[in-house]
Amino acid sequence: MTEPTEDTGKPSRRRDQSRAAILEATRQELVEHGWRKFSVDQVAREAKASKQTIYRWWPAIANMCVEAGLGLLPARTVMGRDPVERISDLLQPIEQVAKTSFGHSVLRGAYLAACDDSSAGETLRAWLREEVRGPLRLILAEIAAKKIIRRDFDLDTALDILMGPLWNRLLVLRSPLPEQFGRTQAEKLLKVLAPA
């Protein structure tokens, strides 16, 4: 085993700083020009990085945009005991970012990039599976066992009820999310799934 040298970590730090600068420049480009007029040249200039580096790290530029959008999302809060609170907490990171015009524009561009590119789409779907769909399944199964909702719920339909208005606001209407958006959607979902 070789002994670490004093230089250990410097290239990694530089790489991390360059990567962060590229992602921040990507966010700025999404805000200023959106996904459909996105310029890798402008990102390279703004981040002071070569296009070769950008394409080496992100062969699919749409994936870079999705990563830039997801990178804005804070970690979810610790879930409480109340089912409405627990479900609304799943949307809280998106809701928090989408309340600012900067965040709204970045998320919109990232989602459009995910629609246009299969690799970027898979990145976004993987995030949704891990951060929203999986936890939602556990919450719904738990409250179905307590007979708060029907046991025969359809997870995909539940996800559509919970997140459909979010996509509509971000992508179609380009409008901000109303106050307590996540809570309102969670209440609607539980009402739809209530036992007959």
* Residues 41, 18: Cα–Cα separation, whole Å: 15
137-176: pLDDT as tens digits: 999 999 999 999 999 989 999 999 999 988 888 888 877 7
Going along the chain from its start, the domains and CATH numbers come out as 10-70 (1.10.10.60), 83-192 (1.10.357.10)
The residue-averaged pLDDT of 25-53 equals 95
Please report, rounded to a whole number, the percentage of residues in the chain having pLDDT higher than 90: 68
Cβ pair 21, 47 in contact under 8 A: yes
58-110: pLDDT as tens digits: 999 999 999 999 999 988 776 678 999 999 999 989 988 988 888 999 999 99
CA 71, 49, 74: angle at the middle one, nearest 5?
10
pLDDT at 172: 83
pLDDT at 99: 85
Output b/e per residue, 155-170; b: 16+ Cβ within 10 A.
eeebbebbbebbeebb
**Per-residue pLDDT for 49 more than 60?**
yes
Q: Which helix (H) or strand (E) holds 76?
A: none
Q: Model-level pTM?
A: 0.84
